[in-house]
Amino acid sequence: MNWRAVRAIYFFEMARAGRTLLQSIVSPVLSTSLYFVVFGSAIGGSINEIHGVSYGAFIVPGLVMLSLLTQSIANASFAIYFPRFTGTIFEVLSAPVSAMEAVIAYVGAAATKSIILGLIILATSALFTPLRIDHPALMLLFLVLTAATFSLFGFIIGIWADGFEKLQLIPLLIITPLTFLGGSFYSIDMLPPVWRTVSLFNPVFYLISGFRWSFFGQAEVNVGVSLAMTLVFLGVCVAIVGWMFRTGYRLKT
């Protein structure tokens, strides 16, 4: 393993985040604060508790997961697309750096930035509502696995996209709606039976449910199922990225 090359790419990507601090950190935190003002104050006034948890605290895992998913995809997709767009990706492909090392560096940097942002949002949430975390180790595990999984997914989008418009296509039209419909701001137990069944086919629902369980020790589905779904998605993303590098899909042309 060429750790020097991994560190070089990793720290280059982390330095880029420092140069775009307003976009990378400040903007998502302000957006999350607005969610608390709108949902926590307006809707929270009508809903006192869900499963014995105050509404303001109940939506915290959903808000963290919403930011984590979108930022992981955005960070990773832009990190690999921009070198393709400028042609500098050929420097990485021709260097003594394996596909695994390049993926570890790019995805690791994207996931690190997303985890830092998630923790900042979690700290910001504590300013708006009393918060408890019953299983902090499991919370960190879900945070890391989700960030790594969706950073890999964003890496795939960055290789697949042939224009800046396509970088936003899947996050805006698929991931964000699935997150909103995955129980970020409500419990699926509040839905009619038909829509409750439909929600079970939403993969993002399992991520939010498992993450919420780590906070309050209760969720709509078993935490083991949520963890298994996360690992399955991670495995699928790893397999796709491996195939892309093995075949040179949109990398060598």
Dump pLDDT digits (tens) for 130-172: 888 999 999 999 999 999 999 999 999 988 888 778 888 888 8
Where residue 252 falls among pLDDT bands split at 50, 70, 90?
A: low
57's tokens:
């605290």
Q: Which of 50-64, 94-108, 171-185, 211-225 has the highest mean pLDDT?
A: 211-225
Mean of pLDDT values over 197-214 = 91
> For the chain, what percent of residues have pLDDT higher than 90?
27
* pLDDT of 129: 81
50's tokens:
């869900």
**Does the pLDDT at position 179 exceed 90?**
no
C-beta separation of 158 from 74 below 8 A = no
173's tokens:
């039209």
C-beta separation of 155 from 80 below 8 A = yes
**Does the pLDDT at position 210 exceed 90?**
yes
Among 8-22, 98-112, 142-156, 171-185, the least confident range? 8-22
Please name the residue that has the structure tokens 């090392």: 101
Where residue 212 falls among pLDDT bands split at 50, 70, 90?
A: very high
**Cα gap 184→222, rounded to integer Å:** 17
- List the beta strands (DSSP E) in the chain: 49-50, 53-54
**Does the pLDDT at position 43 exceed 90?**
no
Domain ranges of the chain: 3-247
> For the chain, what percent of residues have pLDDT higher than 70?
94
Mean of pLDDT values over 198-214 = 91
Give the contacts of 120 (CB within 8 A, at least 6 positions apart): 25, 29
Kindly report the number of other CB atoms within 10 A of residue 238's CB atom: 16
Of the CA atoms within 13 Å of residue 150, those in its CB half-sphere come to 28
Instruction: Work out the mean pLDDT of the chain and round it to a whole number.
Output: 85
pTM of the model: 0.88
C-beta separation of 108 from 79 below 8 A = no
Environment class of 155 (CB within 10 Å of its CB; exposed 0-12, middle 13-18, buried 19+): buried
The neighbouring-strand residues paired with 49 are 54
**Does the pLDDT at position 119 exceed 70?**
yes
Where residue 253 falls among pLDDT bands split at 50, 70, 90?
A: low
Q: Is 165 helix (H, G, I), strand (E, B) or coil?
A: helix
Environment class of 48 (CB within 10 Å of its CB; exposed 0-12, middle 13-18, buried 19+): exposed
* pLDDT of 5: 83
**Cα gap 215→96, rounded to integer Å:** 44
Please name the residue that has the structure tokens 């307006």: 42
Where residue 45 falls among pLDDT bands split at 50, 70, 90?
A: low
* pLDDT of 185: 83
